[in-house]
Structure 1
Amino acid sequence: MIRQTVIVALILSASGIVAQAPAPRPKFDTFEVATIKLVDSDAKTGRFIKMEGLHRFIGKDYTLKLLIAAAYSLNPRTISGGPGWTESEHYDILAETPGEVRPTHDEQMAMLRKLLAERFKLTFHREQKEFSIYALEVAKGGPKLKASTASPDEPAALISTVYPQHILLPARNTTMGEFTSMMQRAILDRPVVDRTGLTGKYDFDLEWAPDETQLNGDVTGAPAESPAAPLFSAIQQQIGLRLEAMRGPVDAFVVDKAERPTEN
């Protein structure tokens, strides 16, 4: 994670030293340039979205449906409508971001939403539907979370690493809303609702053995000899929370229109 470095100019004056306010952050509403390429899905390289340096945004091996899930922080099951290719054709995205600072995750997703509207001609509406969901709650004994000491302005860090026998997720400066959002769009097979009542920002580490229902089916499941606990047990043992299966209303995303993008 790269922290934004703020340089405050000091000006000598007759009355002493005066600090100038730092320059405002640029408005991250659209990528400066973006290339979208139709590709064959490659399980060996993996699917990811990341920033490389300050300006290089990379999306690797995503269908339009999974791009929508990432951009709007949704579980893929809550997305419906649109032509069949939105779930079968895979794309790589390479884009450049504006300004002289690295955009936060929310700013990256705002630019991705604009890209989907402009290049995929995506239009949609919302409908409330009932789904099988997971509710994230505080487990008996209370949460095992460390309050973050990072600056309130520093972005959250939630980057999971998949190993042959386990997944490691170090979370830093993270709210429960950000954690549940990541779990529903990238890890679990159904929407997740935050019912912990926890309002702070926290640091914690979560390690678990995945199964084939997680990560959009991109993993085969950890081997039986994996020393890591299953996800539900790990969440309760390691961070003092629990996932409760139930049914509940969710604002579903319905695609009204989508077109294949031009590759430039």
Structure 2
Amino acid sequence: MKQTFFVAFMIFSLIVNAQKYTESTPFGFDVSRPNIPHGKIDTLVYHSETVGADRKTLIYTPPGYSDDTKYPVLYLLHGIGGDEKEWYNQGAPQVILDNLYAEGKLKPMIVVLPNGRAMVDDRAVGNIMAPDKVQAFSNFELDLLHDLIPFVEQKYAVLADRDHRALAGLSMGGGQALNFGLGHLDTFAWVGGFSSAPNTKLPEELVPDPEKAKEQLKLLWISCGDQDGLIRFSERTHTYLTENGVPHIYQVIPGGYHDFKVWKDNLYQFSQLLFK
């Protein structure tokens, strides 16, 4: 009953463009539970024609994954100081998702944790603000669309259409998710920006055709902590979407900073709405 109410409330929030923090995460939501089924995290290597090199990605398959079943896919992006292991090491997505599966709250999905810095030396070392490293986050758009997604769809049993693809990310990855997801509504129907960074395009560039966005988006999620210095980028997007009547969820998290406490909360809530 509680789950049904939560989903219904979140859908209502989506319709009315809610600017409200809907629910605190429960105690222990990100703590591993030994006596439940667990998904699997693998590190895979794919060749990127965009970069001209082999690249690494982490891929989470849900408990009970079978090649006989086709799954939707969430592509989950890291921040400017991270790489394909940032979510895994600091955000515990595998733990959060395992716990949600055990509670019957998730649609089974594959989660891809890529390196969003599309360049030959894609490690988060040295000056991470160097122009070539910043540009590499923009270059990832082509790597994602032309290299990574085809690799995932060839390697795994997935539902290969826009209705079954989601794109979300934190900070720099949140900007990427909004830029690439809203820029390719023919590829992604579910988009989430968590504390999106200054790389986020201006709202009128993100959604130049509000009517098209209304028709094609299944979910647009924007969230930020109220103590986060980057909140203005989320606010301006929310304001534009509201003025143009584009349904979305907008959350301002009380006491939230630019950190994984906020981003884990976002993943916990966002993931429960996907592919339903």
> TM-score if structure 2 supplies the norm length?
0.24
Structure having the higher Rg: 1
> TM-score if structure 1 supplies the norm length?
0.24
Per chain length, whose mean CA-contact separation is higher, i.e. which structure has more relative contact order (CA < 8 Å, sep 6+)? 1
